[in-house]
A and B are shown apart, each in its own frame.
Chain A
Amino acid sequence: MSSAAAAKFNKPAFVVCEGNEAAAIGVGLSRPDVVAVYPITPQSSLVEHLSQMIADGRLNASLMNVEGEHAVMNGLQGVALAGGRTFTATCGPGIAFMFEPYVRTPGLRLPMVATLVTRDLLSPQCVWGGQQDAMVVREAGWIQMYCETVQEILDTTVMAYKIAEHRDVMLPVNVCHDGNYLSFGVTRVELPDQEAVDEFLGPPNINWHIALDPERPMGVDPLTGGAGGPGPRNFVRYRRGQCRGMQNALRVIREVHAAWGERFGRYHAPLIEEYRLDDADTALVTIGSMTGAAKDAVDAAREAGERVGLIKVKTFRPFPIEAMTAALAKVNRIGVVDRSVSFGWNAGPVYQEALGALYLTGKQIPAISLIGGLAGADITAEHFARAIALTREAQFGRAQEPVWLNEND
């Protein structure tokens, strides 16, 4: 379809809403069969918007009342096995309670979509944003995409279904948006047309690989592995297939983002966004909603004549190794800003992974870890200006400690 025809068909509408409502609208447009969500701060208003949509008849889905997040994921696995499109959302202690069935979902290759309204983990007690919950589950096998804006939440939520259900992927997707900052941040959002989304997504076919079929009786998830017999090679075969699905996702995520841009006119960077990077000497690496303030700080530094750019990570799982390596190869020093910590490295998780990608560039350049925004703390343009200044002074080698951006706030 030509872009003019698409624009005519699309009939954009605008609403002013918070990030949680944008996610709920994205879910509604994707027409799930069953929604099961257990409320938890800062995700609760997402549940309220979804239940209201179902109560008003705007979304024709079953709302499954469950006693907790563990039941949410177990119930939705049954729905997906029966062929239903599903949705849930959680964060923080909620995902901790969901963990057992959560880690099982990718191995069953069930293409679910779940929003993580990211929240810092207890203790110390807090109910505010941070990405520790999502970073803890980064090796669970779910695809993770981190949104920067409220509009991107809506668009990514719809795209997530297309990515998850692609036959070369068949993996669950976490759409992550920062608790408090994006969940309650209110902006103008452009709505795609329902018919256009229907055409974009196509009819769901969730369980083509695992459907209960009297003509093909099967046991789902039988005992595999062990030390002898055919177990180990079966386990390796399924694990390897899962890893291949993850790598295929890198291609599918790019394709789906390109198709979304073509259809709806909004192009979001699918894996890595390079911002003012081409002649940059120094780069900040960011993830999630902090990127807006970081771009402001980069702009200010540019106006002062400094060659500073920015690399934003949108897709963190699978890690976009090639895109990240290509971006890192352009600069001579980096400062990686994390909204969570890696206790093992005494640094941030994104920093760790950036170091892995740096190895593939063959360059030994200064790289420092900066941690901010924990438990709802604000990372302002001033914090990022300090981050840029510290990165410019950075020396090659291991720092004993990360820079704690909010230590004096």
Chain B
Amino acid sequence: MQRQSRDHFDASTIPDDLAPIATVLSKMLPGDWRSLRPVIDRRKCVKCALCWLYCPVQCVTVKPRWFEFDLAVCKGCGVCAQECPQRAISMVEEAGR
């Protein structure tokens, strides 16, 4: 494949105070600043997947009979709880962390 970048694109020549860029991946995940945590009632969940569709950070994971949340990624926005037609999700305050 033909190289698209210019030969004179030498990163070492670019002043580090020019345009704000990030070249190191931040390990910070949205779960770091969550104040409310979604808790699912497994008896009510019918796996309709609306929470999976709506979740802005895509933290909904699939279990055999219900849906679960990856709490490292979940930012606690509560969209899933708002949208769940079965009222199977409740938002619980994070405490003691």
Q: Chain A residues near B2 (CB, 8 Å)?
A: none
User: Which of A205, A211, A218, A240 is close to B22, meaning CB atoms less than 8 Å apart?
Assistant: A218
User: Which of B11, B16, B20, B22 is close to A108, meaning CB atoms less than 8 Å apart?
Assistant: B20
Is B14 positioned at the interface, with any CB of A under 8 Å from its CB?
Answer: yes
Is A238 positioned at the interface, with any CB of B under 8 Å from its CB?
Answer: yes
Q: Tell whether, in the assembled complex, residue B21 and residue A219 are in contact, meaning their CB atoms are under 8 Å apart.
A: yes
B 1-23 contacts with A by CB, 8 A: 4-6, 8-9, 11, 14-23
Q: Tell whether, in the assembled complex, residue A237 and residue B17 are in contact, meaning their CB atoms are under 8 Å apart.
A: yes
Count A-side interface residues using an 8 Å CB cutoff.
Answer: 27
Q: Given the known A-B contacts A211-B5, A211-B6, are A241 and B22 also in contact in the complex, defined by CB atoms under 8 Å?
A: no
Interface range, B side:
10 to 19
Q: Tell whether, in the assembled complex, residue B20 and residue A213 are in contact, meaning their CB atoms are under 8 Å apart.
A: no
Is A228 positioned at the interface, with any CB of B under 8 Å from its CB?
Answer: no
Q: Tell whether, in the assembled complex, residue B18 and residue A241 are in contact, meaning their CB atoms are under 8 Å apart.
A: yes
A 203-218 contacts with B by CB, 8 A: 205, 208-211, 213-218
Q: Tell whether, in the assembled complex, residue A238 and residue B23 are in contact, meaning their CB atoms are under 8 Å apart.
A: no
Give complex CA distance A211, B21 in Å.
Answer: 10
What does the 1/0 interface line of A47-67 toward B look like (CB < 8 Å)?
A: 000000000000000000000
Q: Given the known A-B contacts A208-B9, A211-B9, A216-B11, are A234 and B18 also in contact in the complex, defined by CB atoms under 8 Å?
A: no
Q: Chain A residues near B4 (CB, 8 Å)?
A: 213-214
What's the minimum C-beta distance from B61 to chain A, rounded to whole angstroms?
26
Q: Chain B residues near A107 (CB, 8 Å)?
A: 19-20
Give complex CA distance A153, B20 in Å.
Answer: 32
Is A1 positioned at the interface, with any CB of B under 8 Å from its CB?
Answer: no
Q: Tell whether, in the assembled complex, residue A218 and residue B17 are in contact, meaning their CB atoms are under 8 Å apart.
A: no
Q: Chain A residues near B8 (CB, 8 Å)?
A: 208
Chain B CB within 10 Å, residue with most, of A108, A209, A217? A209
What's the minimum C-beta distance from A141 to chain B, rounded to whole angstroms?
13
Give complex CA distance A110, B17 in Å.
Answer: 14
Q: Tell whether, in the assembled complex, residue B20 and residue A234 are in contact, meaning their CB atoms are under 8 Å apart.
A: yes
Minimum-distance CB pairs A-B, first 4: A241-B17, A222-B22, A219-B22, A109-B19
Apart from A211-B6, A220-B20: 18 A-B pairs, beta carbons within 8 A = A170-B18, A170-B19, A205-B6, A208-B6, A208-B8, A209-B15, A210-B18, A218-B22, A218-B23, A219-B23, A221-B20, A221-B21, A222-B21, A238-B18, A238-B19, A240-B17, A241-B15, A241-B17
What's the minimum C-beta distance from A171 to chain B, rounded to whole angstroms?
10
Is A3 positioned at the interface, with any CB of B under 8 Å from its CB?
Answer: no
Is A224 positioned at the interface, with any CB of B under 8 Å from its CB?
Answer: yes
What's the minimum C-beta distance from B3 to chain A, rounded to whole angstroms?
8
Give complex CA distance A210, B8 in Å.
Answer: 13
User: Which of B5, B15, B16 is close to A213, meaning CB atoms less than 8 Å apart?
Assistant: B5
Q: Tell whether, in the assembled complex, residue A237 and residue B21 are in contact, meaning their CB atoms are under 8 Å apart.
A: no
Q: List 27 A-B contacts (CB under 8 A).
A: A109-B18, A109-B19, A110-B19, A205-B6, A209-B15, A209-B18, A209-B19, A211-B5, A211-B6, A214-B4, A215-B5, A216-B5, A216-B11, A216-B23, A219-B22, A220-B19, A220-B21, A221-B19, A222-B20, A222-B26, A234-B20, A237-B16, A237-B17, A238-B18, A238-B19, A241-B17, A244-B17
Give complex CA distance A172, B94 in Å.
Answer: 46
Q: Which residue of B has the minimal Cβ distance to A109? A: B19
Q: Tell whether, in the assembled complex, residue B5 and residue A238 are in contact, meaning their CB atoms are under 8 Å apart.
A: no
Q: Chain A residues near B5 (CB, 8 Å)?
A: 211, 213-216
Give complex CA distance A213, B18 in Å.
Answer: 17
Q: Which residue of B has the minimal Cβ distance to A242? A: B17
Q: Tell whether, in the assembled complex, residue B14 and residue A209 are in contact, meaning their CB atoms are under 8 Å apart.
A: yes
Q: Chain B residues near A211 (CB, 8 Å)?
A: 5-6, 9
Q: Chain B residues near A208 (CB, 8 Å)?
A: 6, 8-9, 14
Chain A CB within 10 Å, residue with most, of B4, B9, B11, B17? B17
What's the minimum C-beta distance from A293 to chain B, rounded to whole angstroms?
42
Q: Chain A residues near B14 (CB, 8 Å)?
A: 208-209
Q: Tell whether, in the assembled complex, residue A224 and residue B20 are in contact, meaning their CB atoms are under 8 Å apart.
A: yes
What's the minimum C-beta distance from B57 to chain A, rounded to whole angstroms?
16
Q: Tell whether, in the assembled complex, residue A213 and residue B9 are in contact, meaning their CB atoms are under 8 Å apart.
A: yes
Give complex CA distance A217, B25 in Å.
Answer: 10
What does the 1/0 interface line of B30-72 toward A look like (CB < 8 Å)?
A: 0000000000000000000000000000000000000000000
